[in-house]
Amino acid sequence: MNANTKKLHDLGQSLWVDAISRDMLVDGQLARYIADWSVTGLTSNPTIYEHAIGHGNAYDEAIARLTRSGESAEEIFFSLALDDLKAAADLFRPVFDVSQAIDGWVSLEVSPMLADNVETTIDAAAWLHEAADRPNLFIKIPGTPAGIQAIEESVFAGVHVNVTLLFSREQYLAAAEAYFKGIERRLAAGLDLNVSSVASLFVSRWDVAVRDDVAPAFYNRLGIAIAMRTYKAYRDLLASPRWQRLALAGARPQRLLWASTGSKDPAAPDTLYVNSLAAPDTINTIPENTLKAFADHGKVGAILPVDGGYAEAVLEEFRREGVDDEALAARLQREGIDSFAASWQVLLSRIHEKCATLVVADN
């Protein structure tokens, strides 16, 4: 067992890998992460799948078969992704069972083209939940205003939800409120409260966004401050009478997840956001390269303080530098949606290209 990753596991932080491909399933890499590096979950997104499907031939046979059966590019993608994520969910099932559903989760995202449409997001989440037919698979729904409405309805319907593309304390609190309301409605209706959720706060994109607008002394500080501030809000919610009532009735806490934790500054430590965000009852989902780096030379830093520590002081420094964190959070969320939508279009284009090429080859 890797000593660095085990330290995070032992302090109560789950380490999930932000990657999926058929190769890592077939060649045993994911199984080795689970066995040797304390990896207890997995996340995916359109950008990850665009790379996995578009760069290599691991999916070619399945794409050719699905093309011959008349599937559209989007239908082909979800068929491929569901096959992968069901296989990954089965690998993580022992972790899921031993942890009593705290860990062992995988995540699949609804189409990012639905980010502003409540009803179609609800329908897509329900369909994917049913098609996956795995107790340890989250459906990722973005925390946009429309997404927040869809999250409440999906949780009420019994869909396990990973709320993605959250960038601020306020966006996190909106996602938490949606989860609370969905669970409270289930309680009022006499339904089982065993519906899980995580809330994914994106960290490193903050530092990329302000890099050209602040002095070097401010580099790589804003994302961590935002995370610290959000962690305080998370701990406050878990301690609230409202949550305690739900917990006593059998509800599960919506866990806070750190996303976008690969360092994007070549001058910064490549494990910066893993070293800096150690905290119990949270999840850190990290890219493969960052996972490998942390296993090799990562250092677990001080555990995040439940009172937010120096976060507000740092944020005030950035405001004096002209950074409007509230406006920037809204911009980052929209840019995140646009980025995933662009990856989605490239992904579908690559599938179209492969369909045409493989059909020609078959003939």
Annotated catalytic residue: which of 6, 7, 140, 292? 140
CB 46 within 8 A of CB 78: no
Please, which residues have CB within 8 angstroms of residue 314's CB and are 6 or more apart in sequence?
A: 221, 222, 225
Query: In angstroms, rounded to a whole number, what is the distance separating the alpha carbons of residues 132 and 162?
Result: 15
pLDDT of residue 360: 56
Residue pLDDT, tens place only, 253-290:
999 999 999 999 999 999 999 999 999 999 999 999 99
Domains of the chain in start order, with CATH, are: 3-362 (3.20.20.70)
361 has a pLDDT exceeding 70: no
CA distances from 108 to 85, 112, 128, 131, 162 (A): 7, 11, 8, 11, 9
Q: Please state the pTM of the whole predicted model.
A: 0.96
Token pair, residue 148, equals: 């927040």
CB 228 within 8 A of CB 304: yes
Helix (H) or strand (E) segment spanning residue 33? helix 29-36
181 has a pLDDT exceeding 70: yes
Q: Rounding to the nearest 10 degrees, give the CA dihedral for residues 137, 140, 145, 151.
A: -10
Query: In angstroms, rounded to a whole number, what is the distance separating the alpha carbons of residues 20 and 285?
Result: 12
pLDDT of residue 55: 82
Tell which phi-psi region holds residue 245, choosing left (phi > 0), alpha (psi between -120 and 50) or beta. alpha
Q: pLDDT class for 1, splitting at 50, 70, 90?
A: confident
pLDDT of residue 362: 59
Which residue is associated with the tokens 């994917």? 128
Closest CA to 34 of 97, 87, 88: 88
- 197 - beta bridge partners? 161
Please, which residues have CB within 8 angstroms of residue 281's CB and are 6 or more apart in sequence?
A: 12, 13, 238, 253, 255, 256
140 is known as an active-site residue: yes
Query: In angstroms, rounded to a whole number, what is the distance separating the alpha carbons of residues 272 and 253?
Result: 27
E runs forming strands in the chain: 13-18, 39-43, 105-109, 137-142, 161-166, 197-202, 255-259, 282-286
Question: Helical H runs in 189-324?
Answer: 204-210, 222-238, 241-248, 272-275, 288-297, 311-320
DSSP, collapsed to helix, strand or coil, labels residue 43 as strand
Residue pLDDT, tens place only, 320-360:
999 999 999 999 999 999 999 999 999 999 999 888 887 65
Residue pLDDT, tens place only, 11-37:
999 999 999 999 999 999 999 999 999
